[in-house]
Structure 1
Amino acid sequence: MELYVSEFSKYVIALLITLYTYECFAVFRYDEEEQRNGIYTRQNLLMFALHFSCFLVICFETGDITYLFFYAFQQIVLYAVIVLYRMLYPGSNRLVVNNMCMLLAIGFCILTRLDMNKAIKQFIIASGSLVIALVIPFFIHKFKFLKKLKWVYVLVGIAALSVVMILGQTTYGSKLSYSIAGITFQPSEFVKILFVFYVASALYESSGFFEVFTTAVAAGAHVIVLVISKDLGSALIFFIVYVLMVFVATKNYFYLLAGILGGSGAAYIAYRVFTHVQVRVQAWRDPWSVIDSAGYQITQSLFAISSGGWFGLGLCKGTPEAIPFVEADFIFSAIAEEFGILFAVCLILICVSCFIMFMNISVRLNDKFYQLTAFGLGVTYIFQVFLTIGGGTKFIPLTGVTLPFISYGGSSVLTTLVMFAVIEGLYMIRLDEKEQMRLARVEKAKKKKKRSAPKRRLQRISEAAWEENEGTDTEYPAGDMIEDEE
């Protein structure tokens, strides 16, 4: 019985994720949220069915029915988030909410299979973070002074990173986090959002050479602190986000070219200076030559991905625990092994659909500050996805960043939820701008109609007079017509 359930479930889960992914892109056929309601409803049903199927398989494979209680708590939280967003923010973008919940559900499923204790901890952190994420769109929508806090963003960001550089805990040669009252924080995750707000606030009014230069100094300060802390993955994200935001703000290809050349030179210097970078590059170039040391993680990751096939081995049927730190850096490999390549590709496409919606919101905003903010958050999100999946599949050297919503890590989950909540606030601002434009067109049409009314009355009087006199040359004093108008 267990064998049949496990085998059949692989195809059911693959079908559900495929249909959900199709709906993610079907959304873009329509411009108005009201036209997408049917798609969003189907997405919710597919998400809940997939979530239930995964936990049902885990229960069958482990023989432990208590997993269903954990599933029930997750289902309640995810359903509550969907309903509360619709109640509190009727104009919210439901694709962003649905994808957020779907990715969280996938993360809960794979973490439960890998490590129940870590899955519970992740669920508790995510639940608390969702409460915070529910109020953020209100602040983004209502507080217009956020664009005036340029120096607050940069000072708080550099200070937070500097604390880690001085007092942070060293993990495998890098200072990434510090603890307060037993709770571990990774400030670089939160500073990503502050950094995007800083660049947007610095360039939205003017994007001349002086503004670009000052933001380059501030961005360089962020990156230097991260490099000294040896958090090179975060430093790379900050750099790429800065270069692309400057390019979008200025439309100057010289800045883009300078960024590419500068980044290439910095990467070469990092390779020469940092030993652990050389180790990671060696593991990327030829992991088989160092399979017993630096190449062990990536080779095990490649074994896991290749063994999964199109539909995977099935939940609890693979050996993802053979990959060190699989729940953080290599969780995509675990998904590919047990859920299959088809599921993994659909997961990537869901992330891409989030990015496309972020860009869609960005290009439709009129206020340049909000436009740059949406663009910067979108680039931050998708580039982190690229670094994680690219590193785990040997497409690029491993950087050590987490897969948003799915990898184990409280700071990453909280930061990504905040990021998605900010996007929701920006989407509501876009709706306000759209409504204001509509009202402006209506007012313009009324004024135009009012101005043309006297001319139409004069024309009617002339036509009536002509008909009455049958085309005679009878003259009508202009004063009479003016009096009639009054």
Structure 2
Amino acid sequence: MTLTQRLATRRLEFGLLVCAALIIAVTLVSLNLAQGQALTQEMFWVIGGFLVVFTIAHLALCFTAPHADQVMLPVASVLNGLGLVMVYRLDLAEGTALANRQVMWSLVAVALMVAVLVIIRDHRVLTRYSYVLGLIGLILLALPLVWPASAVNADARIWISIGPFSVQPGEFSKILLLLFFAQLLVTKRALFTVAGYRFLGLEFPRLRDLAPIIGVWGFAILIMAGENDFGPALLLFSTVLGMIYLATGRASWLMIGAFLVALGGTAVYQVSDKIQARFSNFQDPVGNYDTTGYQLSQALFGMSTGGISGTGIGAGHPQLVPVAESDFILAAIGEELGLIGLSAVLVLFAIFVTRGMRTALLTRDSYGKLVASGLSLTIAIQVFVVTAGISALLPMTGLTTPFMSQGGSSLMANYILLGLILRISDAAHRQALSMGTGVGAGAGAAPLAQEVRA
């Protein structure tokens, strides 16, 4: 296939990336005008860096995965770009220079995505190393417990310091653990599908078959207690539980999971002052305004001020929310772009997750199905938990917003995740073309659980 043919194959992606670049450029210009500033060199650095990063990504996909999904990368680029704009906007308000660093992290993250596509030519190769990947994932997840405490977040041991950099290893461990559990579900699916007891019309597994999920639950509880943070553990357990449901189609697993979450959460709540404070803030953030509820209260005030249409980019005060560039970046968007802008961001995430699930349906091998669906599900859960946290629907968990929050760990991990889904998508489309069938032929003929069990 010539270069011209490869470029022509991904015309849709290129067009969407051009639209994404225009959106980001217009938003940045509007921000500077709203702030009464001239067009600065830093602004052109952000725009130029955005164009270079995603031009490289597009060209790399043309050579490494020409048949992969053409919507997911542009969606990720818009989310990444809007995150850059908001970080730059907070830089103007606070006198910091985090946007330049975020551009560099974006370049590194996209490079890692390309590396995944170059190194992993067939996603099924990962099945050979599933136990090794799982072990590495466990080590990374538990590493902050034994590593010298980082000054990034003293009350939650989820960071490690490596020279001048701080890294959150849990962001990478979730991907490795999901790869392991996908293979476990494929090879040990009998453990999860054998009928045991019937209650209220549902089939529950035998007690001895609960060992895998009990093990994951117990490990999640230990990590939650040791790191004094329940966000990563909640994300891991919920995603694994969702993968089991997708593989079996049994709602009883969801009921078991909900019971275990309630039991473990109650136990950890009794011994963790931090989790007690977050639950108290969830119940009445304004009542704790002068102490632990200040951050959430300011976020709610800001979004209330923004209303439906927002205050306008650059016209709000998102800098009043502590660490708005990280945990509360969606609150900053809700204030300045309003409910309309925040809803648009959530729709973009919905498109991303939907395309990932579509890839799972198109893939013929069970392992690819579970990996694509599991990685998509973890994005969906993470966005839901973050959105619920900033709106006081759930207690805050400290999770970051994928592709948007400032920081390198989350950005790199999510682009690695995207690279894996694109690799699986490319394989699925290649197989469909080789068999002479349409891309969507039969894609929705059966539920994912039935296809995995087949």
Same fold (TM over 0.5): yes
User: What residue number does 2:341 align with?
Assistant: 343
> 3-state SS of the aligned residue for 1:416?
helix
Please say which of residues 157-166 and 377-386 is displaced more in the overlay. Answer: 157-166
Per-residue Cα deviation, 1:42-91 (whole angstroms, up to 9, x for no partner): 53343222111122123332335223431223222223323432344221
Please say which of residues 116-125 and 98-107 is displaced more in the overlay. Answer: 116-125
User: What residue number does 1:471 align with?
Assistant: none
CA separation of 1:36 and 1:290: change in aligned 2, threshold 3 A: farther
User: What residue number does 2:132 align with?
Assistant: 152
Q: What is the distance in 1 between the residues matched to 2:8 and 2:59?
A: 19
Per-residue Cα deviation, 1:251-303 (whole angstroms, up to 9, x for no partner): 33332221111111112222222111111111111112111112111111011
Q: What is the distance in 1 between the residues matched to 2:277 and 2:221?
A: 21
User: What residue number does 2:295 align with?
Assistant: 297
8 Å CA contact retained: 1:82, 1:98: no
User: What residue number does 2:177 align with?
Assistant: 195
Q: What is the distance in 2 between the residues matched to 1:137 and 1:282?
A: 45
> 3-state SS of the aligned residue for 2:159?
strand
User: What residue number does 2:279 align with?
Assistant: 281
- 1:239, distance to aligned residue in structure 2 (A): 0.7
Identity %: 23
> 3-state SS of the aligned residue for 1:158?
helix
Matching of residue 105 in structure 1 with residue 81 in structure 2: yes
Q: What is the distance in 2 between the residues matched to 1:218 and 1:297?
A: 32
| TM-score, scaled relative to structure 1 | 0.78
Please say which of residues 419-428 and 36-45 is displaced more in the overlay. Answer: 36-45
**CA RMSD, Structure 1 to Structure 2 (Å):** 2.4
Matching of residue 58 in structure 1 with residue 31 in structure 2: yes
Looking at both structures, which has the greater relative contact order when contacts are Cα pairs under 8 Å and sequence separation is at least 6?
2
Please say which of residues 282-291 and 407-416 is displaced more in the overlay. Answer: 282-291
8 Å CA contact retained: 1:91, 1:428: yes
User: What stretches of structure 2 of length at least 5 have no aligned partner?
Assistant: 1-6, 192-207, 438-454
8 Å CA contact retained: 1:168, 1:176: no
CA separation of 1:352 and 1:232: change in aligned 2, threshold 3 A: same
- 1:434, distance to aligned residue in structure 2 (A): 1.9
Q: What is the distance in 1 between the residues matched to 2:366 and 2:309?
A: 45
8 Å CA contact retained: 1:161, 1:222: no
Matching of residue 410 in structure 1 with residue 392 in structure 2: no
Per-residue Cα deviation, 1:332-359 (whole angstroms, up to 9, x for no partner): 1111111222111000000011111111
| TM-score, scaled relative to structure 2 | 0.84
Q: What is the distance in 1 between the residues matched to 2:122 and 2:141?
A: 29
Matching of residue 369 in structure 1 with residue 367 in structure 2: yes
Counterparts of 1:201-240 in structure 2 under 5 Å? 201-209=183-191, 213-214=211-212, 216-217=214-215, 220-240=218-238
User: What stretches of structure 1 of length at least 5 have no aligned partner?
Assistant: 1-33, 440-486
8 Å CA contact retained: 1:243, 1:256: yes
Q: What is the distance in 1 between the residues matched to 2:101 and 2:31?
A: 18
8 Å CA contact retained: 1:177, 1:184: yes
8 Å CA contact retained: 1:329, 1:407: yes
User: What residue number does 1:242 align with?
Assistant: 240
Q: What is the distance in 1 between the residues matched to 2:131 and 2:372?
A: 20
8 Å CA contact retained: 2:123, 2:420: no
Q: What is the distance in 1 between the residues matched to 2:182 and 2:213?
A: 10
- Give the length in aligned residue pairs: 407
8 Å CA contact retained: 2:308, 2:339: yes
8 Å CA contact retained: 2:32, 2:39: yes
CA separation of 1:222 and 1:146: change in aligned 2, threshold 3 A: farther
Specify the structure having the higher radius of gyration (Cα).
1
8 Å CA contact retained: 1:374, 1:426: yes
Per-residue Cα deviation, 1:107-161 (whole angstroms, up to 9, x for no partner): 1111111125111111111101211211312433336331122221221122222
User: What residue number does 1:452 align with?
Assistant: none
